[in-house]
Structure formats: structure tokens, C-alpha cells
Amino acid sequence: MPLQARLTITGRVQGVGYRDWAIATGLRLGLSGWVRNRIDGSVEALIVGDDGAVGIMIEACRRGPTLALVEAIDVEPVDLDILPEGFTRRPTE
């Protein structure tokens, strides 16, 4: 079973290209999942893949794209029955 994690990223992470960056990074690492802005100003992502790639993605999310200023990242393990395909953008929630 692949590793699954839900990330909540806070700081200056909206309006800086974070979602596009996360999608490109996730695809490059061979991950599946999704990313979306949250109404509270954070970014939420679900990432699924092998342990090494998930770990690299989490560390990359601590930095984010050039214009982002990540203050904190919360990583929560999840256990989904149905895994996402591809890496997509979801609507703000």
C-alpha cells in the first residue's frame, strides 16, 4: 500500500503559484493526489506514493515556490480506500 498523507500548509501560500508548483512537483516525483486553497488562507494537499517520494514532497512543500513564505506544515497520515489518479487541482473549500 502506498504512503498517504494530507498536508496543511500555512503562511504566504495563496496567490504565489503554490498549487501549480505542487502539481508539477508531485507529477515529477511520480505521486498522485490533489491540492486546493482553503478559505482560511492555507493550502491543503493529499499526496500518495512511495515512501521516498512522499518524503521528498513533504520537504519540498516546506519551501514551496519562490514567492511563497511557508510558516508551518501539518502532516497527517490518512488511509484511503480509493486512491486518487493523477495529481489535480481541487476547488477552494
Rounded to the nearest integer, the mean pLDDT of the chain is: 96
Domains and CATH numbers, the chain: 9-72 (3.30.70.100)
Q: Give 6: exposed, middle or buried? Use CB within 10 Å, 0-12, 13-18, 19+.
A: middle
Active-site choice (6, 12, 19, 38): 19
DSSP strands (E only) in 13-86: 32-37, 43-49, 69-77
Q: Is 89 a catalytic residue?
A: no
d(CA 7, CA 18): 13
In the prediction, which pLDDT does 34 show?
A: 97
Active-site choice (6, 12, 28, 37): 37
Q: Is 37 a catalytic residue?
A: yes
- Read off the pLDDT band of 4 (50, 70, 90): very high
pLDDT(13) > 80: yes
pLDDT(1) > 90: no
46-66 pLDDT, tens per residue?
999 999 999 999 999 999 999
- Read off the pLDDT band of 35 (50, 70, 90): very high
